Amino acid sequence: MVYTLICLNECWRTFSVRRQEDYLLQIRYLYRLAGWWSESGDTLERLARIISGSHCFVAAVQETGVILGMGRAISDRASDAYIQDIMVRPEARRQAIASCIMKAIVERLERDGMTWIGLIAKQGTQPFYRGLGFSEIADAMPMLRKNEIL
């Protein structure tokens, strides 16, 4: 499968409004496929802010403009970074797209001086991340603050 890795947050302003909207719709589709977003909270404006606010937001894009996968990192831009939202379309999986996205993100973070790069692996994905040099953090457990609207 032929695709190009694009750091969307770096070149976002160079895209036409039509291309931006197309990419936003495709990325929203990926978020929904992963079960990370519901229709009530996934506005295109919010997604554009996520892209532009990320340390890097990498997409694997076919020549036709179809986004096959994505991933992003957030950071303090000094030393620490977190990789999140790694997703590949189901029909494009098992073709090393996620690995290429991850490698591009890690290379970018290291080039920018990040010395601590972490992520939270979904249950069952640990072998994938171990293969990319990640390991479990001893005596640590991921936690999430519940956001309840009153």
pLDDT value of position 124: 92
The stretch 57-71 carries a mean pLDDT of: 97
The stretch 46-68 carries a mean pLDDT of: 95
* Confidence tier at 148 by pLDDT (50, 70, 90): low
pLDDT value of position 97: 97
* Confidence tier at 1 by pLDDT (50, 70, 90): confident
Q: Residue ranges of the domains in the chain?
A: 4-130
Domain 4-130 homologous superfamily, CATH:
Gcn5-related N-acetyltransferase (GNAT) (3.40.630.30)
pLDDT at 70 over 70: yes
Rounded to whole angstroms, what are the CA distances from 148 to 39, 143, 145?
17, 16, 9
**Do 83 and 118 meet the contact criterion of CB atoms below 8 Å apart?**
yes
Per-residue tokens: 45:
């404006």
Based on its alpha-carbon atoms, the radius of gyration of the chain, rounded to whole angstroms, reads 16
Q: What are phi and psi of 87, to 5 degrees?
A: -150, 140
Per-residue tokens: 119:
């992520």
